[in-house]
A and B are shown apart, each in its own frame.
Chain A
Amino acid sequence: NAGVTQTPKFRVLKTGQSMTLLCAQDMNHEYMYWYRQDPGMGLRLIHYSVGEGTTAKGEVPDGYNVSRLKKQNFLLGLESAAPSQTSVYFCASEQAVNQPQHFGDGTRLSIL
């Protein structure tokens, strides 16, 4: 049972480059989320999706885009990476609002 899988686990980018982080879940969950984790700040919500074909902005959406073309996948894109986007990115999914979110193992992204 894979749960939530994030690809890649590590990446180093140069300023201005673009990339896409992939999140895949095999639990048939409706809700999916992208967070970033920075030292001393806990997790902050970037974007989320309440179902296939839907996306919405979270707390810190600027500089990121997302897509949920398939229920099991939630993609996070950085169109033009900036050093301020250096962070650890977590994807999560959940079945219902009173259920715990299941997290991926995170993607450590460094922007030089």
Chain B
Amino acid sequence: AQKITQTQPGMFVQEKEAVTLDCTYDTSDPSYGLFWYKQPSSGEMIFLIYQGSYDQQNATEGRYSLNFQKARKSANLVISASQLGDSAMYFCAMRERVLIDYKLSFGAGTTVTVRA
């Protein structure tokens, strides 16, 4: 079963508009963490935002915010005021405990293209 599901392979957004990237997850671990990473065309993985399963408030980091709906197992990334530099692949990831270790599982990613 897929641990992380990103249903949007690609999205287009107009510059200065907001965009929401969907992410749903599946885990039985009550203490898990959710991450979003950005991968521009240059290939590096850039950490954007983190949400712990026990965090009461949605995480925010500058123009990035995480819409965390625990009951729905959803952790959508919202990018506000999109910029051309936001064009990239975005990955949702979940950290959960598996036996004695913690594993990070990635979704397949969503490609965002920002139009001028």
Contacts and interface: CB of A to CB of B under 8 A. Distances in A.
Given A88-B43, A103-B45, A105-B43, A97 B106 contact: no
A58 B91 contact: no
Interface of A: 33, 35, 40-45, 48, 50, 56, 58, 88, 90, 92, 97-98, 100-103, 105-106
Interface residues of B, number: 23
B60 to A, nearest CB: 15
A90 B45 contact: yes
Interface stretch (B13-21, B64-72, B79-87, B96-104): B96-104
A21 to B, nearest CB: 15
In order of increasing CB-CB distance, the 4 nearest A-B pairs are A42-B106, A103-B45, A100-B47, A97-B102
Contacts of A103: 37, 44-45
